[in-house]
Structure 1
Amino acid sequence: MADRRNSLPFEPRRSEEGTKSKSKRSASQPKSSQPIPKPVANRMARRVAIATGIPSIMGMGVFVGSYFLVSRQIMDVPPGITLLGSGGFFLLGLGGLSYGVLSASWEQDAGSLLGFEHIKPNIQRMRKSMRSQKQS
């Protein structure tokens, strides 16, 4: 017997009545998909806040640290080094947005602390969803 589980909100819907016309399907199903479950959304928000917040604070800290070093005449920090350092941390924070969303578990259990095991399945689900939207 086939395993019957509820699909996740971003997974493409499998149509058991594949012969139905597109107009009948769109009339019975709303355009927008199911909302993200509250525990999953909280998990994503927490991961995004950490994965973007820490690098962003560090990026601002580069400016503060450079100012401190130059104003106290401890070290002459070239402006380019300050720019590259802070820009690198801000780019790391930008990558943290994607990591925070893709590493969150969509199952009931929260998963591991870092969530690396959820990235690959979530990317595959996202690709399937985008392919099914292109086809319909």
Structure 2
Amino acid sequence: KQDAELRAIAEMRAVDDALREDAAVAAIPEKVAMRMGKRMLPFVGIPLFGSMGTFVAFWYLATYKDMEFQPAAVATTTVAFLAVGLLGITYSVLSASWDPDREGSAFGADEFNRNVGELKEGLSRSRENALLRER
């Protein structure tokens, strides 16, 4: 058990040293960042413009068609589109292939599952590293 702990500490220190030498190692590669940005156009843009379009539609119907709407209905509909856009940002990042050499699929379901797994693994590694640093 102590051997495994010492190995983990050595690995953690090696990673720390590598990051100290070159902080760019921890950066998102430009190809991956561009891929994430391209995915944001539909996954964020459509809900965002849907939110604005819905608000304008409510205004048009109330002003020119003499229809009445509860303010809560207008707010709920607009905020729902914005919430979908917020989820779209998250999905855009997680559904893009994080491998610079692999484009990934159009919808990104496989990449999403793979990246969520990597994210969970990274969080548990961070938790373990924090415990090791406390000792």
For the aligned pair, the TM-score class normalised by the smaller chain equals 0.7 to 0.9
Q: TM-score, normalised by structure 1?
A: 0.76
More off after superposition, 26-35 vs 53-62: 26-35
Matched AA of 2:107 = L
Which digits, 9 at most, give the CA deviation of each residue in 1:24-43, with x for residues without a partner? 53663225552211111101
The one of the two structures with greater contact order (alpha-carbon pairs below 8 A, sep at least 6) is 1
Find out whether 1:115 has 2:108 as its counterpart: yes
| Residue aligning to 2:132 | none
Moved over 6 A (4+): none
Specify which of 67, 73, 84 is matched with residue 75 of structure 1: 67
Task: Tell whether the 8 Å contact from 1:103 to 1:118 is kept in structure 2 after alignment.
Answer: yes
Aligned pairs for 1:115-134 within 5 A: 115-134=108-127
Gaps of 5+ in 2: 1-5, 130-135
Q: How many residues in Structure 1 have an aligned counterpart in Structure 2? A: 120
| Residue aligning to 1:3 | none
Higher helix share: 2
| Residue aligning to 2:51 | 59
Task: Tell whether the 8 Å contact from 2:96 to 2:111 is kept in structure 1 after alignment.
Answer: yes
Compute the displacement of 1:122 (Å).
Answer: 0.3
Gaps of 5+ in 1: 1-16
Instruction: Output the CA distance in 1 between the equivalents of 2:42 and 2:57.
Output: 22
Instruction: Output the CA distance in 1 between the equivalents of 2:61 and 2:7.
Output: 68
Change (3 A) 1:25 1:60: same
User: What is the aligned-residue identity percentage?
Assistant: 27
Find out whether 1:96 has 2:88 as its counterpart: yes
Say what the alpha-carbon RMSD is for the aligned residues: 2.3
More off after superposition, 75-84 vs 52-61: 75-84
